[in-house]
Amino acid sequence: MKIEAQDVHVYYGQEHTLKGVSLSVKKNTVTALIGPSGCGKSTFLRCMNRMNDLIDNCKVSGNILIDGVDINSPSVNINELRKAVGMVFQKPNPFPKTIFENVAYGLRVNGVSNKEYINDKVEWSLKQAALWDEVKDKLKKSALALSGGQQQRLCIARALAVEPSILLMDEPASALDPISTSKIEELIYNLKASYTIMIVTHNMQQASRTSDKTAFFYMGELVEYDDTRTLFTNPKKERTQNYITGRFG
Amino acid sequence: MAKKLGKRMRQKQVRKNKWYEYQDKSYKYIALFATSIGVIILGILLYDVVLDGFGRIDLKFFLDSSSRKAKNAGIYAALGGTLWIMLLTTLIAFPIGIGAGIYLEEYNKKGRLSSILEINISNLAGIPSIIYGLLGLEIFSRTLMMGDTALTGALTLALLILPIIIVSTREALKTVPYNLREASFALGASKWQTIWHQILPASLPGIVTGAILAISRAIGETAPLIVIGAATYITSVPTWPNESFTVLPIQIFYWIGKPQHDFQVNAAAAIIVLLGITFLMNGVAVYLRYRWQKKVKW
C-alpha cells in the first residue's frame, strides 16, 4: 500500500471536521474523493502533505502512513514530505514570475543550483504536464500571461519538478472551461503510470472518468470506498446512492 | 375614490423622487467642497511661501551656513543635517520596522499576547512626537550618554516612525494572496524561503511606499529634535553621526523667531526647500507603487 490512513480525526478549534477516516491507496492508482461541500474531503487531502499544519488551531490525530512511514512522527521533515507529496490547488496559483522560474522554484528552494540540471528538469516537467509545446518559446514570459488551463498545467509541472511520488489535486479543474478540463483529465490518466494520484472533485462524471477508486465522504465520515465502477453503478449505502443520483448535494 | 387616492400617491412619489435627486446632487457638491478644502489650503500656503521666499533661493543659499546677517545665512548645515538624519533614520528604522512587521504578520500566532502587542503598536502611532523627544532625551542623550548628536536624533525619529513602518508593512503583507504561500509551502519551501522568495517581492511596493512616507514624515519633525537639544546655530555639516547637528525644520523655526524681515524671507526659502524634499519623496513613493503595481497582477 502506498498510503494508509488509520482513524484520522481533524479538529479546527472546536469543530470536528474529520471523524475517524481509514482508507488505503495502492501505488499508481487514481483515487477520487467526492461528497458535498464541507464533507471533509479537502481536509483529508490536506492531511496527506500536512498542509493543515499551516492553520493555527488545527489538530490532527490518527496515523497516516506513506510507504510505511508515519508522516506525523517527529522524525519526518515536513519540507521533505511536501516534496514527496505534491499538490495542485483549486485555483491556478502560479507565482508572479516567469514560466521557467515557476517550475524551477521547487528545485531552487531545495538547494539545486546546477543550471544544466535545472534546465533539463524544467523541460521534462513541462513535457510531463503536456505544456512544453505551448510554452517552449516563451519560457521567459510571465506565467500570469497564460490562460487558466495553461496555468493549471504549469502548476502541475511545478509540482512534478521536485519528483514527488504522490500527487494531490484539490478540484484541479473546477475553475476551468470544458476543453481545459478534458486536457487535465487526460493528463491525470497519463500521469497514473508514474504517480499515485488523489483527486478531490465535485464533478461526478470527472470522478468516474478519471479514477480507479472512489471515496464518498459525508459530514466528516467516509461513507463508502470502493472501485469507481462499483460505487457509481452499484453503491452499497443509500446515502451514496442518493448523492450520485443527484438527490442531494 | 380609489382612483383619486392613486393619483395622490403618484404625486407624492414624484415629489419624493425629486427630493432624492436633489439630495444626490447636493451631496456631490458638499463632498467636492470637502475634498477641495485640503487642496485650496495647500495652494494658498504654497503661494504665500513661494511669493516670500522663492527669490531668495540661489546657489549661495545652499552653500552658506548660519550667520548673524540674514543675507549671509544659508541652509548648508541644516540641509546636510537633514540628509544625515534621513540616512541614519532609514538605516535604523527600515530593518527593525519591516522585521517587526514580518514577525507580527507571518510568525506571530493569533492570541491574547499578540493582540495586546498589536493594539499597543497602533497606539504608539498616535502618541505626540514631543513625547518621543523626551524619551530620546532620557534614554539616548542622557542614559546612553550620546548627547545632542545626529545619532541621538536619528534614533529618536526612528522610534517615532517605527509604528508607522510596522503597520504599513503588515498591510502590504496582508495583500499577498494566501494561495501564493500555499503554493510555495506545497513545493517543500521553508517558511523563510516562502517569505524571502515570494511574499517579500510581492509586497515590496507597499512596504517601500509606506517606509518612504514614514521617512518623509520624520524629516519634517521639529519638536522631538528640539527636545533632545539639536543645535539651532551651527555652521558645519556633521562628518560623522557622533557630532552635533541641526535640520531644516529647526533652522526654519529659528529664523521665524527672529524679528528681522530678512530672516523671515530666509525661513520662507528654507520652507520651499523642505517642501520640495517632501514632495519629491512622496512622488518617488507614488511612482514606485505605480510601476510595481503594473508589474504584479493577481
Q: Is the residue at B125 inside a domain?
A: yes
End-to-end, the C-alpha distance of chain A in Å comes to: 31
Q: Is the residue at B165 inside a domain?
A: yes
Is pLDDT above 90 for A4? Answer: yes
Answer yes or no: are the C-beta atoms of B125 and B163 closer than 8 Å.
yes
Q: What percent of chain B has pLDDT over 90?
A: 64
**How does pLDDT run across A48-79, given as a tens digit for each residue?**
999 998 888 899 999 999 999 999 999 999 99
Q: If pLDDT is split at 50, 70 and 90, which confidence band does A21 have?
A: very high
Q: How far is CA B200 from the centre of its chain?
A: 22
Nearest partner of B217 among B278, B270, B166, judged by Cα: B278
- Confidence (pLDDT) at B294: 67
If you average pLDDT over residues B125-130, what whole number do you get? 90
- Confidence (pLDDT) at A118: 96
Kindly determine whether residue B185 and residue A155, on different chains, have CB atoms separated by under 8 Å: no
Kindly determine whether residue A56 and residue B198, on different chains, have CB atoms separated by under 8 Å: no
The least confident of A101-105, A192-196, B14-18, B133-137 is: B14-18
CATH code, domain carrying B85: 1.10.3720.10
- Confidence (pLDDT) at B108: 84
Q: If pLDDT is split at 50, 70 and 90, which confidence band does B7 have?
A: confident
Is pLDDT above 80 for B78? Answer: yes
Is pLDDT above 80 for B207? Answer: yes
ipTM entry? 0.92
For A55, which residue in chain B has the nearest alpha carbon?
B109
Residues 6 or more apart whose Cβ sits within 8 Å of residue B166: B97, B100, B101, B104, B121
- Confidence (pLDDT) at B235: 80
Alpha carbon of B125: minimum distance to chain A alpha carbons (Å): 28
Q: If pLDDT is split at 50, 70 and 90, which confidence band does B138 have?
A: very high
The least confident of A228-237, B111-120, B197-206, B272-281 is: B111-120
Which residue, among B184, B187, B190, would best test binding to A if mutated, counting the most A CBs under 10 Å from its CB? B187
* CA distances in angstroms from B239 to B28, B83, B244, listed in the order given: 55, 12, 10
Q: If pLDDT is split at 50, 70 and 90, which confidence band does A153 have?
A: very high
**Rounded to 5 degrees, what are φ and ψ at A23?**
-165, 135
Query: Which residues lie across from A24 on neighbouring strands?
Result: A4
Q: What percent of chain A has pLDDT over 70?
A: 100
Task: Establish if A54 touches chain B: CB-CB under 8 angstroms.
Answer: yes
For A169, which residue in chain B has the nearest alpha carbon?
B186
Is pLDDT above 70 for A92? Answer: yes
- Confidence (pLDDT) at B288: 85
- Confidence (pLDDT) at B183: 95
For A56, which residue in chain B has the nearest alpha carbon?
B109
Residues of chain A neighbouring B184 (CB-CB closer than 8 A): 95, 105, 109
Instruction: Return d(Cα B193, Cα A95) in angstroms, integer.
Output: 14
Task: Establish if A12 touches chain B: CB-CB under 8 angstroms.
Answer: no
Reading the block at residue A154, the C-alpha cell is 504549469
**How does pLDDT run across B86-102, given as a tens digit for each residue?**
999 999 999 999 999 99
Q: Is the residue at B214 inside a domain?
A: yes
Residues of chain B neighbouring A82 (CB-CB closer than 8 A): 185-188
CATH code, domain carrying A153: 3.40.50.300
Answer yes or no: are the C-beta atoms of A10 and A59 closer than 8 Å.
yes
Q: Is the residue at B41 inside a domain?
A: no
DSSP B24: H
Q: If pLDDT is split at 50, 70 and 90, which confidence band does A197 have?
A: very high
Answer yes or no: are the C-beta atoms of B230 and B244 closer than 8 Å.
yes
Which residue, among A42, A56, A77, A79, would best test binding to B if mutated, counting the most B CBs under 10 Å from its CB? A79
Is pLDDT above 80 for B188? Answer: yes
- Confidence (pLDDT) at A168: 97
Alpha carbon of B292: minimum distance to chain A alpha carbons (Å): 12
Nearest partner of B173 among B108, B121, B114, judged by Cα: B108
Q: Which H or E element spans position A190?
A: helix A178-191
Q: Is the residue at B186 inside a domain?
A: yes
Instruction: Return d(Cα A77, Cα A162) in angstroms, integer.
Output: 15
**Chain B positions touching chain A (beta carbons under 8 Å):** 109-110, 177, 179-190, 193, 197-198, 201-202, 295-298
Q: Is the residue at B137 inside a domain?
A: yes
Q: Is the residue at B206 inside a domain?
A: yes
Q: Which domain holds residue B166?
A: 80-245
Instruction: Return d(Cα A172, Cα A149) in angstroms, integer.
Output: 10
Alpha carbon of A98: minimum distance to chain B alpha carbons (Å): 12
What mean pLDDT is reported for chain B?
Answer: 90
Is pLDDT above 60 for B282? Answer: yes
Task: Establish if A82 touches chain B: CB-CB under 8 angstroms.
Answer: yes
Alpha helices (runs of H) in chain A, residue ranges in sequence order: 41-48, 78-84, 99-109, 115-128, 132-135, 148-160, 178-191, 204-210, 228-233, 238-244
If you average pLDDT over residues A140-144, what whole number do you get? 93
Instruction: Return d(Cα A17, Cα A13) in angstroms, integer.
Output: 10
Q: What percent of chain B has pLDDT over 70?
A: 97
Helix (H, G, I), strand (E, B) or coil at A225: strand
Alpha helices (runs of H) in B103-260, residue ranges in sequence order: 112-124, 129-136, 150-174, 178-186, 191-194, 200-218, 223-228, 248-256
Give the number of domains in chain B.
1
Instruction: Return d(Cα B147, Cα B47) in angstroms, integer.
Output: 39
Q: Is the residue at A106 inside a domain?
A: yes
Q: Is the residue at B111 inside a domain?
A: yes
The least confident of A113-117, B3-7, B168-172 is: B3-7
Nearest partner of A153 among A171, A127, A192, A189, judged by Cα: A127
Alpha carbon of B184: minimum distance to chain A alpha carbons (Å): 8
Give the number of domains in chain A.
1
For A52, which residue in chain B has the nearest alpha carbon?
B182
Residue B96 one-letter amino acid:
I
Task: Establish if A112 touches chain B: CB-CB under 8 angstroms.
Answer: no
Q: Which domain holds residue A16?
A: 3-244
Is pLDDT above 70 for B1? Answer: no
Q: If pLDDT is split at 50, 70 and 90, which confidence band does A124 have?
A: very high
Lookup result for grid cell 521567459 = A140
Task: Establish if A105 touches chain B: CB-CB under 8 angstroms.
Answer: yes
Residue A24 one-letter amino acid:
S
For A78, which residue in chain B has the nearest alpha carbon?
B188
- Confidence (pLDDT) at A208: 93
Q: If pLDDT is split at 50, 70 and 90, which confidence band does B295 have?
A: low
Within 143-202 of A, beta carbons closer than 8 Å to B belong to 144, 155, 158-159, 162
A138 CB burial (10 A radius; 0-12, 13-18, 19+): middle
Task: Establish if A72 touches chain B: CB-CB under 8 angstroms.
Answer: no
Q: If pLDDT is split at 50, 70 and 90, which confidence band does A121 have?
A: very high
Q: Is the residue at A249 inside a domain?
A: no
